[in-house]
Each structure stands twice: as C-alpha cells, then as structure tokens.
A and B are shown apart, each in its own frame.
Chain A
Amino acid sequence: MIPLHWYLILSSVIFSIGLIGFIIRRDLIVMLMCLELMFNAVNITFVTFSAFNGNMTGQIFAIFSIGIAASEAAIGLAIVLAIFRNMAIVHSDDIKNLRG
C-alpha cells in the first residue's frame, strides 16, 4: 500500500493552504471556506490512521469532527450575516468598531 507519510504530507499541504487562505483573504465567506479546508485535512489524517492501524476509532472521531464542522459552519454564517446586516461589511479588515 501507499506509505503512511505520503497521506500525512497530503493532509499537511491542504491544511497549510487553508491556513494561508484564512490569513490572507479578506472576504468573510471565503475565510469560512478555508476553515472547511482545514477540517477536511484533519479528517483525512484521522481516516488514514484508522486505515493503517486497523482501528475504527479514527473514523468515529472523523464523524464527530464532521458534526462539529457542520455546527461551526451554521454559527459562522449566521455571524457573517448578522455583521453584514448590521454594519454592511463583508471584509474582515473593515470591522474596526473595537479598535481604539
């Protein structure tokens, strides 16, 4: 089979792309999409260790992670919609109400 560290390198590349996108993009919705990328990278790692160790615990934790990611997307999009409706802002660096 494919060596284990190839999968880990694939997962870390996806996670880093998501991290870079989360830092450098300005649109709030694209930032949430990059969060989904990072969640998927971690899920790939869980499933990889589950397949390589013959242990179902990794898949169960991937199920929990998918559930948490779904609730995170719902809450995050609700917050983005609330920001858009109250302040008419869609960019992350325009939110400066609390800046001194």
Chain B
Amino acid sequence: MKPATVELIFFIYFFIALTSFSAMVVLARNIINNVFFLLLFLINTAALFLFLKAEFLMAIQIIVYVGGVLALFVFAIMIMNLKEEIKHSKYIKFYSAGLIIGLIFLLIIIYTVKDVTTIGQPLPKPDSVLLGKLLYSYYLLPFEILSVVLLVALVGGILLAKKLPKEEK
C-alpha cells in the first residue's frame, strides 16, 4: 500500500528533523546548545504525536517536557556554572567501543523490525474522551501508583539537593 504524498512529505520531514536534532544533542560542544537542540527535538516529537492522532499526548509532551524537564536542565546548568567546559574533551577515552555497541544494537533492531505488520484496525480519529475513561476506570491503580512515584521523586529530589547538616555551618 503506497502512502499518500502529504503524509510522505510530513514523515520524511519528521525523520530528518528528529534524527538530526537528536544527533546534535549528542554532538554539540557548548552545553546550552545541547539544551536548545533538545528543545527542538521535543517540540518535533510533540508534532509527531499529533501526526499519529494522539492530541492529548501532544499537550502533555509540551507541558511536561518543554515546560518542566527542560526548565530543570536549564536551572541545573545555571547552578553548576560550567565555564571551563570548552577546554576539556567531551568524549570518554574509549568512545569507539560505544559507537560499535550502538551500531550493532541499531542493526539488530532494524533487522528485527524491518518487515513487521499489524493486524488491527487503525485509530479512526483522535479521542481524548475515550482516553480519559480508560485511564480512570481500567488503569486507575497504575495511575495512583504513578502519583505515589511522583511524590517520592519530589521528596527524594529535595532531600538529595539540599545541603547536608554538617555542610551548613
């Protein structure tokens, strides 16, 4: 089945944009440029979610990642005040080993998924009402467990980031 031309153009744009932005997150030298490319990557991922008929996840992606996680990264960089970062080498000593491991992993995954098909019907249209009903009925217990996990992360983050009692004096 041959895809429609508009969908093909959008998918090729998403492929090129997502792979190049994620590569630039790894390759950029200045650390604030990494955050900037991560921002572009996350916004393009949100657009891909909308392309895949998941409009609620697009909103969640922008609110949580762009509004929350990225602000955390920017604050951490601001607190750590990394000025001497330019002089040091940015890769570990045996970076070729990491490259080989990653490429082998990629080849194995592509070989596995290269002719996978699905037997289900495609999603007819975006439907947040169904998502909310499912989330609050069948997946209620995992939802509550997720809230407990977030509370533990909040308390743990504060405890780890605050000064120890012997450092304060």
Contacts and interface: CB of A to CB of B under 8 A. Distances in A.
A34 B26 contact: yes
Interface residues of A, number: 73
Nearest to B101: A23
A92 B4 CA distance: 47
Nearest to B81: A84
Interface residues of B, number: 89
Given A12-B106, A82-B161, A52 B122 contact: yes
A11 to B, nearest CB: 9
Contact of A32 (B73, B82, B117, B157): B73
Interface in A24-68: 24-27, 29-30, 32-34, 36-37, 40, 43-44, 47-57, 59-60, 62-64, 66-68
Interface SS of B by simple majority: helix
A68 B146 contact: yes
Q: Which of A24, A49, A82, A92 counts the most chain B CB atoms within 10 A?
A: A24
A52 to B, nearest CB: 5
A10 B101 CA distance: 18
Instruction: List the 6 closest pairs (A to B, CB-CB), nearest first.
Output: A71-B153, A23-B98, A53-B120, A21-B26, A20-B102, A78-B160
Interface of A: 1-10, 12-21, 23-27, 29-30, 32-34, 36-37, 40, 43-44, 47-57, 59-60, 62-64, 66-75, 77-82, 84-85, 90-93
Interface of B: 1, 3-4, 7-8, 11, 14-15, 18-19, 22-23, 25-26, 31, 34-35, 38, 41-42, 45, 48-49, 52-54, 56-57, 60-61, 64-65, 68-69, 72-73, 76-77, 79-80, 82, 85, 88-93, 95, 97-99, 101-103, 105-106, 109-110, 113-118, 120-124, 127, 130-131, 134-135, 139, 142, 146, 149-150, 152-154, 156-158, 160-161, 163
